Structure 1
Amino acid sequence: MTLIARADQVGSLLRPPSVMQAWKAFAGGELGETARRSIEDDAIRASIHQQEETGIGVITDGEFRRDVWWSGFIPYVEGIELFEATQSPFASNVAERADAYIPKLVRTTKRLGHPGNAIMGDNYSFVAGITNRATKVTIPAPSRFHFQYGVNAIDESVYPNREQFWDDVTQVYKSEIAGLENLGCNFIQIDDPILSFFCDPTATEKMRNNGENPEGLLKEYIDATNAAVSERASSTTVGLHICRGNARSTWAVSGGYAAIAEQAFPHLDVDVFFLEFDDERSGDFEPLQLIPASTSIVLGLVTSKRSELESPDLLKRRLDQASQYADASRLGISPQCGFASILEGNLLTEEDQWAKLRLVSEVAEDYWGN
């Protein structure tokens, strides 16, 4: 599958002050959803113009309409209940961090179902109506319906066995993808940071302590993703993004891809991998050799967690290193993750963000010449 663009991005962008204020007012009951969306409309228009100016090849809405990376999709699925958790996987790497992000938990209350029209449809159409560049929609992976709450995510009175649960989860995705395709969307990115937890021995030990078999659970998640995208049109590109957590410039887990490469890379039915590689927590490039030759790879070499700009020469050397395991013709470059996977965003400025995207574009132009 040919890359949509050599210079890509993961999806989320720092929310401008107008959007931050609108979400605060919305949460406090001082602003309705229609008024909030109007403010987001203006911010997205401006953001698209700025994205285009950086030279980046794929445009998104910056996820401005979400307060967290998965909230634009999962809460709109029928049969879902969200509730607060008390522990943060992000707290372990930042000593006494009072603002550590705590992901909400998801559980089923009845049979899961798709509402009918594409959940992300209006958001896609708004962006596609503004830009002539490639536009992608980002959605959370099926694993997000299960992992954070584990066995408690599934009401056994609704789903006596997990196969029935996954059948309904994946049918939701089939309906969503078909709906997006009907609107003209041909680039869908599935965000699955949960796969990175299987790279971290501490995280897999916690899975075992919770009564899960990590190898079996990873297979469940791979099978669910494959089923979810199995009916996509031949003209639709499906990407899969893996990172190790991204909230207020913190991370959740560590570990190279070698731990999951044999089980995941040859078997995930996707057209392009978006893989985090901005520091040593991601390991080396050797696991790339297990990705099928027909699959493209966008390397997340530029960090979205810190403001310092990477050296273009260093990035090109890293592309050379990666090309020892996957031909350079299959590669692209991007930031390692979004700039604001949660509403508050990472600890850098909008100017830093645009500089990072310009860097991605310039390195891609220098390295591939297109």
Structure 2
Amino acid sequence: MTHNPPFRADVVGSFLRPAALKEARAAHAEGRIGDEALREVEDGAIAELVAKEADAGLRLATDGEFRRSWWHFDFFSGLGGVDIVELDHGIQFQGVQTKPRGVEISGPIRFDDAHPFLGHFGALKEQLARTTGATPKFTIPSPTVVDFRLEPGHINSAVYGGRDDIVDDLVAAYRDALHAFYDAGARYVQFDDTAWAYLCSEVELQKARERGIDTDRIAERYAALLNRVLADKPDDLVVTTHVCRGNFRSTWISSGGYEPVAEQLLGVVDYDGYFLEYDSDRAGGFEPLRFLPEGDKTVVLGLITTKSGELENIEATKKRIDEASAFAPLEQLALSPQCGFASTEEGNLLTEAEQWAKVREVVAIADAVWR
């Protein structure tokens, strides 16, 4: 088994919020408890979580995103010049829509040491140092999500002339973020990214064009943006990405195989690893993995769904790993659930017991395949 991230048995990041945590967050939102009381509940829930991650056999641990409401908006709102605003619509999933929130660029985009996520990472690192000794993994949304989700009229024209003009500051903010997390002790960071999956869907590309995005050669532009962010990262900082097709209350958004983006995403972007969803036929076949260069990069196959509690057939999953190895070397593959279990605080439609059974299954299959 590999001793460096991404691990043969890995997870995307988020976990179902325990009932006590949900109750505390609701009480805090309503003003019935203060920041300190909420933080105590969060700390206790995360302590229990990392113990369960260790018990399940994971070599890494996340904080489950327990201090967040959303997988992306909480990070964006901590950036200078970025506001989360109410829209007249949410993001449309299959049969359900999220709360009506969106990103607005109100000033120069920047990252500084006041960002609350640095404290969140520090608390996780300290917790693990005291207890399990697992590698802390920390997740943030990719900068491409800012661009892809921007609605028309949501850039302050007094600051930026248009969508293209935000790129330099966005890159600088993310470079600063990576170095700040590194200085805080992070060695395993993941960029969560829905944009690449949407580039595989003509339906979502059309929606993007309606938002004013030029989709011609957009994969090349996003690859260039990300490589600018990653250009001077420390050699011992592992940065991976999770390509998500939408994950809200067990529903989804995007369909389409990785072929339209694989050459740029796998062959050009300087990520150390790629968490790719492969839990349904909406993701297509494994053929796009042929663009993975030989070497140190890893594709983590998301073959275990988080959208239901039913366990996958172990032998069938092993067979799918074998099929993937026809297009990328087995030593450059790993296994994880297809997504997080709770990309938003509402969580997916399965129980905590089912969630942990899924994680244990990932570990058991990885042990059998890569022992």
Find the counterpart in structure 2 of residue 320 from structure 1: 322
Q: CA deviation at 1:162?
A: 4.2
SS at match of 2:74: coil
RMSD of Structure 2 on Structure 1 (CA): 1.7
Find the counterpart in structure 2 of residue 101 from structure 1: 98
Find the counterpart in structure 2 of residue 34 from structure 1: 36
Contact kept, 8 Å, 1:120 with 1:137, in 2: the verdict is: no
* Larger deviation, residues 185-194 vs 161-170: 161-170
Number of residue pairs matched by the alignment: 364
Structure 2: which amino acid aligns with 1:116? Answer: D
Residue deviations 1:303-345, cap 9 Å, x none?
Answer: 0000000011111001000000000001110000000000010
State the distance in 1 between where 2:154 and 2:219 align: 16
Find the counterpart in structure 1 of residue 117 from structure 2: 120
Find the counterpart in structure 2 of residue 111 from structure 1: 108
* Cα distance change on mapping 1:283 and 1:129 into 2, 3 Å: same
TM-score (normalised: structure 2): 0.93
SS at match of 1:19: helix
2:258 counterpart of 1:261: no
Find the counterpart in structure 2 of residue 208 from structure 1: 209
What does 1:120-269 align with in structure 2 at a 5 Å threshold? Answer: 120-131=117-128, 132-269=133-270
Structure 2: which amino acid aligns with 1:106? Answer: V
State the distance in 1 between where 2:101 and 2:108 align: 20
* Cα distance change on mapping 1:166 and 1:220 into 2, 3 Å: same
Q: CA deviation at 1:114?
A: 1.6
* Cα distance change on mapping 1:174 and 1:117 into 2, 3 Å: farther
Find the counterpart in structure 2 of residue 47 from structure 1: 49
Contact kept, 8 Å, 1:118 with 1:176, in 2: the verdict is: no
Contact kept, 8 Å, 1:145 with 1:153, in 2: the verdict is: no
Residue deviations 1:275-318, cap 9 Å, x none?
Answer: 00000011110001112223111111000000000011111001
Contact kept, 8 Å, 1:73 with 1:139, in 2: the verdict is: yes
Contact kept, 8 Å, 2:82 with 2:106, in 1: the verdict is: yes
Q: CA deviation at 1:180?
A: 1.1
Find the counterpart in structure 2 of residue 293 from structure 1: 294
Q: CA deviation at 1:167?
A: 1.0
State the distance in 1 between where 2:180 and 2:208 align: 35
* Cα distance change on mapping 1:316 and 1:227 into 2, 3 Å: same
Residue deviations 1:64-100, cap 9 Å, x none?
Answer: 0000101331111111121123334434x22xx4xx3
Structure 1: which amino acid aligns with 2:8? Answer: R
Contact kept, 8 Å, 2:112 with 2:176, in 1: the verdict is: no
Q: CA deviation at 1:163?
A: 4.5
SS at match of 1:293: coil
Q: CA deviation at 1:119?
A: 4.2
State the distance in 1 between where 2:212 and 2:15 align: 37
State the distance in 2 between where 1:3 and 1:81 align: 33
Contact kept, 8 Å, 1:118 with 1:180, in 2: the verdict is: no
* Larger deviation, residues 121-130 vs 226-235: 121-130
Contact kept, 8 Å, 1:44 with 1:62, in 2: the verdict is: yes
Contact kept, 8 Å, 1:222 with 1:264, in 2: the verdict is: yes
State the distance in 1 between where 2:265 and 2:152 align: 22
TM-score (normalised: structure 1): 0.94
What does 1:299-314 align with in structure 2 at a 5 Å threshold? Answer: 299-314=301-316
* Cα distance change on mapping 1:3 and 1:41 into 2, 3 Å: closer
Contact kept, 8 Å, 2:148 with 2:208, in 1: the verdict is: no
State the distance in 2 between where 1:210 and 1:40 align: 37
Residue deviations 1:105-150, cap 9 Å, x none?
Answer: 1011111122235642222222222221111110000022222224
Q: CA deviation at 1:34?
A: 2.1
2:2 counterpart of 1:5: no
SS at match of 1:80: strand
Contact kept, 8 Å, 1:40 with 1:64, in 2: the verdict is: yes
State the distance in 1 between where 2:159 and 2:118 align: 29
Find the counterpart in structure 2 of residue 73 from structure 1: 75
Q: CA deviation at 1:224?
A: 2.1
Residue deviations 1:139-195, cap 9 Å, x none?
Answer: 000022222224434223211254541111111111111111112111010000121
Q: CA deviation at 1:243?
A: 1.4
* Larger deviation, residues 346-355 vs 164-173: 164-173
Contact kept, 8 Å, 2:301 with 2:333, in 1: the verdict is: yes
Q: CA deviation at 1:208?
A: 2.7
State the distance in 2 between where 1:180 and 1:119 align: 11
Identity across matched positions, percent:
35
Residue deviations 1:33-69, cap 9 Å, x none?
Answer: 2221110000000000011100122210000000010
* Larger deviation, residues 272-281 vs 256-265: 256-265
State the distance in 1 between where 2:323 and 2:114 align: 44
Q: Which consecutive segments of 4 or more residues in structure 1 shift more than 4 A? A: none
